[in-house]
Copies of this chain bind each other. A is one copy, B any other.
Amino acid sequence: MSVESDVIVMKLSEMNREKLQQFKTECETAYKAFLDEKLSLDMSRGKPAPKQLDLSMGMMDCLKAEDFRAENGLDCRNYGVLDGLPEVKHFFEPMLGVSSDELIVFGNSSLNAMYWAMSVAMTNGVLGGTPWRKLDKVKFLCPVPGYDRHFAVSEFFGMELINIPMNSDGPDMDLIEKLVAEDDSIKGIWCVPMYSNPGGVVYSDEVVKRFAALKPKASDFRIFWDNAYCVHHLTDNPPVQVNLLEEAKKVGNENICYMFASTSKITFPGCGVAIMAGSKENINDLKKSLAFATIGYDKLNQLRHLRFFDGKFENMLEHMKKHKDLIAPKFNIVINTLRDELSDLEIADWSEPVGGYFVSFNQKGCAKRIVQLCKEAGVVLTGAGASFPYGIDPEDENIRISPTFPTEEELQKAMDVFVCSAKLAAAEKLLAE
């Protein structure tokens, strides 16, 4: 698609009013053509495509009928085992870089594990501290743009959310260190340290170490370290990140963090296994609370995952390369379309991630309009503002693009609509100024 055929490609801000009007008219023509196509495309959520799910079809029958015993002989069909089968815990150790006694294997949802951990802090406190519910105010730090479901959990519990700007190497640590040192009502922070949602930011070792050494005024402050994309690389030579818990131990601060991950975007989302890790003291305390909430999670599904990867974590990493082969081309479609169509206009910027599930797109004052234009043309995006607490994007600039679910053909079409909408929104805005 090329709507600016008759317009010399230049910065939009440098166009005179006449050229801008001409540009807008051409955008409108192109946009109307999309309307006529009556599209129905979805780039709203970070969902694996069916072809990615097909990679895990072995999950459907890798657990044979008579294969229901753990290595210690335990009958996985029956009740018991609160925190995960020993061999399954062992399998997941490298995922979060911890040992089995620093790990709990949950059910199918790491979001549920995070929700639960936060709800326990609310009702019963953290390591013997005052239950957060008993405090007049609980504040939580939210690097923005971030994951809407994280922020929603904190909102649900009535917390006050504080936006923290993201830099290219992670959240603004100067600000975080300052805030948490001053205010003991700040009880934690949401982090996606590897390929952040949606920015794709990989926290630098420096940032991880500063998190590890964080000395909040509140002793029950916890970093909710959602390492959802820790093995979700888009390159063959992925970045290596120091381990938060390990660094925290070095400075005697190992209770600072709760870490999470899951197999949701590895095997089958919704039918996977979630894990949580932390210091032995944190984990032992959480296990005591967990014993009130359940008798145990689905051990046959734990065993199924173990069998599918033949008990070897390296096999899971190999499996992730197959995912990469399927989705890296989709990220290329997004990036290339944005580059080809928007770079010269200088109306927007975007992330070019080397892992994770999203491209973060920014165009000041235009996010809502772009999402609306796309929606009317049959392309569903995550709602504008969704990546900010309370759904309020102060600059109305950020849009999360989720390239994985559509086919490449659908995605190219959706991106064509997207860049057309971005241009139209930019022209509208400039002409209205």
A108 CA to B301 CA, complexed, in Å: 11
Does any Cβ of B come within 8 Å of A287's Cβ? no
A378: B residues at CB distance < 8 A: none
CB atoms of B78 and A270 under 8 A apart: yes
Interface string of A49-87 (1 = CB under 8 A from B): 010010011001101111110000001111111000000
- Interface contact B60-A64, CB-CB below 8 Å: yes
Residues of chain A from 125 to 183 with CB closer than 8 A to chain B in the complex? 131, 133-134, 149, 152-153, 156-158
A294: Cβ under 8 A from any B Cβ: yes
Contacts of A275-307 to chain B: CB distance below 8 A: 289, 292-301
A337 contacts B by Cβ under 8 Å:
no
Instruction: Knowing A77-B269, A270-B79, say if A298 contacts B301 (CB, 8 Å).
Output: yes
The reply to whether A109 and B47 contact each other, CB–CB distance below 8 Å, is no
Residues A124 and B79 in contact, CB atoms below 8 Å apart: no
Q: Is the CB of B53 within 8 A of A78?
A: yes
In this complex, how many residues of chain A approach chain B with their Cβ under 8 Å: the count is: 58
In the complex, whether A45 has a CB less than 8 A from a CB of chain B is: yes
Which of B48, B78, B112, B115 has a CB less than 8 Å from the CB of A48? B78
Q: How far is the CA of A56 from the CA of B268 in the complex (A)?
A: 24
Residues of B within 8 A of A385 (CB): none
Whether B107 lies near A108 (C-beta < 8 A) is yes
> CA A50 – CA B69 in complex, angstroms?
12
Q: How far does the Cβ of A386 sit from chain B's closest Cβ, in whole Å?
A: 14
- CA A79 to CA B269, docked complex, whole Å: 5
Do A60 and B57 have beta carbons less than 8 Å apart? no
Are A122 and B133 interface neighbours, CB within 8 A?
Answer: yes
Chain B contacts for A298, CB-based, 8 A: 107-108, 270-271, 298, 301
Tell whether, in the assembled complex, residue B61 and residue A268 are in contact, meaning their CB atoms are under 8 Å apart.
Answer: no
Contact of A292 among B66, B75, B152 (CB under 8 A): B152
**A107 cross-chain contacts in B, Cβ below 8 A:** 107-108, 297-298
Is A382 among interface residues, defined by CB-CB distance under 8 A?
no
Q: Write out the residue numbers on chain B whose beta carbons fall within 8 Å of the beta carbon of A289.
A: 156
Query: Is A348 an interface residue, CB under 8 A from the partner?
Result: no
B111–A295 touching, CB < 8 Å:
yes
- Chain B residues with CB under 8 A of A63: 60
Whether A21 sits at the interface, judged by CB under 8 Å, is no
Contact flags (1/0) for A27-44 with B, using CB distance below 8 Å? Answer: 000000000000000000
A123 within 8 A of B: yes
Q: Find out whether the CB atom of A79 lies under 8 angstroms from the CB atom of B45.
A: yes
Chain B residues with Cβ below 8 Å from A56 are 77
Say whether A351 faces chain B, with CB atoms less than 8 Å apart.
no
> In the complex, which residues of chain B have a beta carbon less than 8 angstroms from the beta carbon of A109?
294-297
Q: What is the bound-complex CA distance between A26 and B52, given in angstroms?
A: 71
Q: Which residues does chain B contribute within 8 Å of A75, judged by CB atoms?
A: 50, 53
Q: Is A119 an interface residue (CB 8 A)?
A: yes
User: Quick one: given A298-B298, A301-B298, are A78 and B111 in contact (CB under 8 Å)?
Assistant: no
| Distance, CA A337 to CA B42, complexed state (A) | 66
Known: A292-B153, A295-B111, A299-B271. A123 touches B122 (CB 8 A): yes
| Nearest 3 Cβ contacts at the A-B interface | A133-B133, A77-B268, A60-B65
22 residue pairs A–B, Cβ–Cβ below 8 Å: A50-B75, A53-B78, A56-B77, A60-B64, A60-B66, A61-B61, A61-B64, A76-B270, A77-B270, A78-B270, A79-B264, A107-B298, A108-B297, A109-B294, A109-B295, A109-B297, A115-B293, A119-B119, A119-B123, A122-B122, A152-B292, A268-B300
Given A107-B297, A109-B296: 6 more A-B contacts, CB < 8 Å: A48-B78, A109-B295, A111-B294, A149-B295, A270-B298, A271-B300
